[in-house]
Amino acid sequence: MKKVIVLAIALAISFVGFAQEEKEPARSNVQEFTPSKLLNKGQWDIKFFNSLYTQTKKTGAGTGKSFDIDRENFFTNTTEIYTGVSKNARINVGLIIQVRANNYGGQDAFSVFDFENNGVDSRSGLTTIAPSIRVQPFASVPNFSFTSSVYLPIFKDKDVPAYLDKRSTFWETKFFYDKTFGGGDWQIFTEADFGFNFGESTSDAIASGDAVNVGERFANNSLFLPVSAFLSYFPSSKSTLFVNAQQAFLIDLGNDFEQNYTQLGFGGKYQLTKVLNLEASYGKIVRGNNFQGLGSTFSLGLRALL
């Protein structure tokens, strides 16, 4: 009889534990570690994010009217490394490294992965590094944070027609906020960026006679303001699907050049292991103004949380 009672109690405890686990499953990394969430002290976040942007249309000077162009391709690899440094998980520090490869003249989109530097229509190389800090300013609002980074151009001017990257010192601060609802099945994530491009203006570079490839100075002395929103659905604890929209403005602060664009997209994330997450997404620039490309972005990222 005692054995029956013990067995019954054990089964009851197991059932209650199982029910609680089913009711409140542990949150996975793809659910928990949004950009709003900071790392604990000693924890590491390493992300390899690859984006291929390709375009065959562009808007005209000072207009939103589009015209056809020969295909242009722009590949960017962004490596982000962050670690937690505060006991209360409210300060992270890190480094961002970017490698780019571009080509022009109607080449196939995948040809950009040849990473050529032919002096005419293909350029590639390590372009920027950025020390970065993440801060959660209010302990009472754990799902609000900001990241501030200073991107330093480290590539050299070259007397070639092909564009590689902006020749600007770029100070960017991103503000993040997310809200989970619908019993944990849905999440809204918002991001607002403020980016200042510092550097010699195109006209000053031409006047000084020191400029090479002045087109890379198009964004100098400008303010970049993109605002983004992501709506995510979690079909399981290890996966998420999302749709997103972004409106961005490049505001002239002395270089006599402005742009703006609207981008829509969708994507998904999946937790491969306890450490690794995979992300894939697609974005399409649906409108723009003043030499804005109207192309598509295909992205693939791998993230490790240690």
181 neighbors 193 (Cβ within 8 angstroms): no
Q: Which CATH superfamily is domain 29-305 in?
A: Autotransporter beta-domain (2.40.128.130)
Provide the whole-model pTM: 0.89
What distance in Å separates the CA atoms of residue 230 and residue 191, rounded to the nearest whole number?
9
Helix (H, G, I), strand (E, B) or coil at 232: strand
What distance in Å separates the CA atoms of residue 127 and residue 74, rounded to the nearest whole number?
13
Q: Any idea of the CA torsion for 258, 264, 270, 271, to the nearest 10 degrees?
A: 30
Amino acid at 232: S
- Can you give the residue ranges of every domain in the chain? 29-305
Q: What is the mean pLDDT of each run of 10 residues along the chain (306 residues)?
A: 42 40 60 90 98 98 96 98 96 98 96 94 97 97 97 91 93 97 95 94 75 84 97 95 98 93 98 96 98 98 97
Residue of 144, 133, 135 whose CA lies nearest to 90 = 135
Per-residue exposure over 54-85, b if at least 16 CB sit within 10 Å of its own CB, e if not: bbbebbeeeeeebeebebbbbbbebebbbbbb
